[in-house]
Amino acid sequence: MAGEASALELVLTADPALWAIVRLSLLVSLTAVLLAAAIGVPAGAFLALTRFRGREATIVILNALMGLPPVVVGLAVFLLLSRSGPLGSWGLLFTPQAMVIAQTVLVAPIIAALTRQIIEDLWVEYRDELAAMNIGALRRVMTLIWDARFSLVTVLLAGFGRAAAEVGAIIIVGGNIEGFTRTMTTAIALETSKGDLPLAIGLGVVLMSVVVLINALAWGMRRAGERYAG
């Protein structure tokens, strides 16, 4: 198993090219998750707490968007950002920013849909108490988001998992340019097709470890938080 040995070697010797790829992957996916949370959490809370015509249809569509195929998102963002597209003048195609945009589009519906469910369940429990305390609309939303914070961390993790694992969207809008837009998943796809299995396996191991590590951190935070706040 020469392949696995050299994969391990790459990781242990902290190959600079490898770490640049790891760093970019994390940067893109974490930024995308933060942006998607900034959009998805308020949107989900709004959907949970307001009643309007077409609300049910919106929820169904939002839930369906959780299964949005990454290549379709990639294609849509590609068309938006390409030279002749509506946002072509921004010159973002084949940059890390384009990858962040694509992953944000991919993750925001997941965060919004799950947030909607969590906030709505909590609202049923809190409704009477908050009404009795005469809590205004804005403060009500803040209270619900804050009190759902531990569940929402899990939602962010689901979003991060989705972003870190996908290759379809970022390979289309990023282009997998070495040293610039190459991430762990796009590199694995490339190296596998090139036949450089050691690098592909090394990246695979690192990707899995990073995902486990981030989940472990979030789990630890959640447990500690629950101990103090219930």
Per CB under 8 A, residues contacting another protein are 125-126, 128-129, 131-135, 139, 143, 147-148, 150, 226-230
Q: Which is nearer to another protein, 23 or 139 (CB)?
A: 139
Q: Which is nearer to another protein, 147 or 196 (CB)?
A: 147
Shortest Å distance, C-beta 125 to another protein: 5
Q: Which is nearer to another protein, 24 or 141 (CB)?
A: 141
Distance CA 90, CA 88 (A): 5
Shortest Å distance, C-beta 44 to another protein: 18
Q: Which is nearer to another protein, 82 or 143 (CB)?
A: 143
Shortest Å distance, C-beta 41 to another protein: 17
Yes or no: say if 175 and 91 are a contact pair by the CB < 8 Å rule: no
Distance CA 101, CA 20 (A): 20
Give the Cα-Cα-Cα angle 16, 21, 24 (nearest 5 degrees). 120
Shortest Å distance, C-beta 47 to another protein: 21
- Cβ within 8 Å of residue 198, ≥6 positions away: 2, 3, 4, 5, 6, 7, 10
Shortest Å distance, C-beta 220 to another protein: 18
Which among 191, 155, 166 is positioned nearest to 77, based on CA atoms? 166
Q: Which is nearer to another protein, 46 or 150 (CB)?
A: 150
Q: Which is nearer to another protein, 155 or 214 (CB)?
A: 155
Shortest Å distance, C-beta 51 to another protein: 16
Q: Which is nearer to another protein, 14 or 124 (CB)?
A: 124
Shortest Å distance, C-beta 216 to another protein: 23
Sequence-separated contacts (24+) of 180-184 with Cβ below 8 Å: 180/94, 180/95, 180/96, 181/24, 181/94, 181/95, 181/96, 181/99, 182/21, 182/24, 183/21, 183/24, 183/25, 183/28, 183/99, 184/21, 184/22, 184/25
Per the document, the length of the chain is 230
Give the Cα-Cα-Cα angle 124, 153, 188 (nearest 5 degrees). 135
